[in-house]
Structure 1
Amino acid sequence: MSYKNKLSLPCLAGHTNDIMATSDLPTSPPGMMLIRAGCALAYQATQPLALLLLVKPHVAPSQILVRDMLETSSSQALEEFTDAHGNTLVRTTLLPGTTRFRHDALILVPESPHELPAGVERVPIARLPPDALRYTFASRYCESDKLAQFANQHFGHIDDAAEQVRAVCDWTHTHIAYRYGSGTPFLSACDVIARGYGVCRDYAHVMIALCRALDIPARYVAGHMPYLGVSEADIGIDFHAYCEVFLGDRWHVFDPRHRRVHRGRVKIAHGMDAVDAAFGTMYGAAQLVDFQVWAYEITDPNEAIGGPVSIMRGADGSAVRTLAA
């Protein structure tokens, strides 16, 4: 696999080398774990077209991007910028033929999964922060306006905001059957409720739409979910979609697909729905001809980004398949 152009993205101590062993990294802070996550993509185009890539991990106090690197086989420039939701995108041009991309990163994340604290309250619309207010609106895949009556019939009797959101999460998990590979870019929350099955993005859209119908801000999140206590059959080799709901004074994580929040997850992006968090957006016709995703806890101090990765791991952590550098 040949990569010509590299966007080396140092985040700590000004490192600029493309391959760096984890033994060169600072010791993980208490309560944090080191995750390696990335993807390898290949697009085939017949004419030049613009491409937006959304694969870089989100940076926040609870998620520290230690080091990452993006490589491409193309000679075209890679331009990095931030969108209206605070996500980091890379813009480039696909030329005729096959163009490969590989992103690899080391991220510090909390060891324990997120738990909703007791006593958290709903924030009245009049007091919502402006950046949370937008996530009360209906969107293309989350038609909360069409689901207002449905949401109030099922959840309007629950006074406690945290319990109300938990009830929405439980209902979505229980009433939507998981079918890997059944997702399409044309299904909305209403469509998924009507047919009764979907993939993780469909679960997220349903829960988000129902929360917004109850005037609770909710947003779509895309990211990585490592194999930590779950099997490959449970999550698949893919990016993962879940939700964040605004209660109290901050955003709280919910995963209606699994009914619980897994440890080690790596957030990439958030937005109104899947439109704002797609890993690749093309302005023209191109085909995705190769797709690999990896995410796992670092245990070998000699492992380095830019080198070989284990892209599939069993529930016991043993490597099942590897991707060469």
Structure 2
Amino acid sequence: MRIRAGFTLGYECAQPTPMLLMLDVHPSRQRDLVTEQVLRFDRDVQARSYTDGFGNRCTRILAPPGTVHVSTRFEIRDSGAPDTVNWNAIQHEVQDLPDDVLVYLLGSRYCDTDRLASFAWSQFGHTAPGWGRVQAICDYVHNHIAFNYQNADSTRSAHGGWTDRTGVCRDFAHLAVTLCRCMNVPARYCTGYLGDIGVPPSASPMDFSAWFEAYLGGRWYTFDARHNFPRIGRILMATGRDATDVALSTNFGQALLKHFEVETWEVADAM
């Protein structure tokens, strides 16, 4: 299947403002692109790309005073298969984990493992290690947090989501990631596109989505505590310890988001 996706974002700056953008399709999905995916600006902006320590493609710009729009539109090929489910995937002993995976056991800005470790072990200590344990965490988070766009809070940590019991997709992901790490399951935060493909269309405006991956059986598997069932058509943009590492934009100065438009839908294959 083919998916058409893209966005237009508008930022207003009072003065020249350095910005870090993480808006490209993840390098692991570049080979699936049917059309070129390029960031375009409606102002004269110098942009430079690089790959960060998590393997994400990033763009550095100096946004000019006033409003600048950045956009992209592209098509990408997808298998059309739902997220992989493998109930036989094992949980590794910590001493057997690859060195580069260990960082995903540690607490981070939004994943405050120190505040949830005791609860995690009391709630999930009886579960069998492996896929079932991660799924039990997803089930708990899915039932514990009520999704509500009006209750979005960019400063809310996993513990905050646990106590507030409300939030958006990032809050589901942060809490699930944190509980996994507390149980010695490496977990990393993911962001990207997730359109209404294979599910009834939502009345809410389209947005980027957050989910997570857990390291089991020698590889990373996708989990989504918000939707809590295998979905079709995810387009990964970035992975990291939490939302700090994969923010759409990081502004080194004041930059107001004035326009936000995201689109993702399935398109018919050309005959």
Q: Same fold (TM over 0.5)?
A: yes
Counterpart for residue 183 of structure 2: 214
Distance verdict in 2 for CA 1:133–1:277, change over 3 Å = same
- Larger of the two Rg values belongs to structure: 1
Give the match's secondary structure for 1:159. coil
CA distance in 2, matches of 1:133, 1:63: 28
Counterpart for residue 10 of structure 2: 42
What is the Cα-based RMSD across aligned positions, in Å? 1.7
**Counterpart contact for 2:27–2:55, Cα < 8 Å:** no
Counterpart for residue 49 of structure 2: 80
Counterpart of 2:192, as a letter, is G
Shift of 1:63: 6.5
Distance verdict in 2 for CA 1:68–1:211, change over 3 Å = same
Q: Percent identity?
A: 36
Shift of 1:121: 0.5
Give the counterpart of 2:168 among 199, 214, 217.
Answer: 199
Identify which range, 237-246 or 179-188, moves more after superposition.
179-188
Counterpart for residue 225 of structure 2: 256
Q: How many residues were matched structurally? A: 270
CA distance in 2, matches of 1:158, 1:282: 42
**Counterpart contact for 1:46–1:96, Cα < 8 Å:** yes
Deviation above 4 Å: which 4+ runs of structure 1?
none
Structure 2, unpaired ranges of 5+:
none
Normalising to structure 2: TM-score of the pair?
Answer: 0.95
Shift of 1:234: 6.9
Structure 1, unpaired ranges of 5+:
1-32, 303-325
Shift of 1:88: 0.4
Shift of 1:179: 0.6
Counterpart for residue 54 of structure 1: 22
CA distance in 2, matches of 1:182, 1:82: 33
Give the match's secondary structure for 2:89. coil
Counterpart of 1:58, as a letter, is H
Q: CA offsets, 1:75-125, max 9 Å, x none?
A: 121101111100001111111111111112222222111222232111111
CA distance in 1, matches of 2:202, 2:267: 22
Counterpart for residue 280 of structure 1: 249
Query: Counterparts of 1:1-325 in structure 2 under 5 Å?
Result: 33-60=1-28, 64-66=32-34, 67-233=36-202, 236-299=205-268, 301=270
Higher helix proportion (structure 1 or 2): 2
**Counterpart contact for 1:63–1:109, Cα < 8 Å:** no
CA distance in 1, matches of 2:17, 2:49: 17
Shift of 1:61: 6.7
Normalising to structure 1: TM-score of the pair?
Answer: 0.79
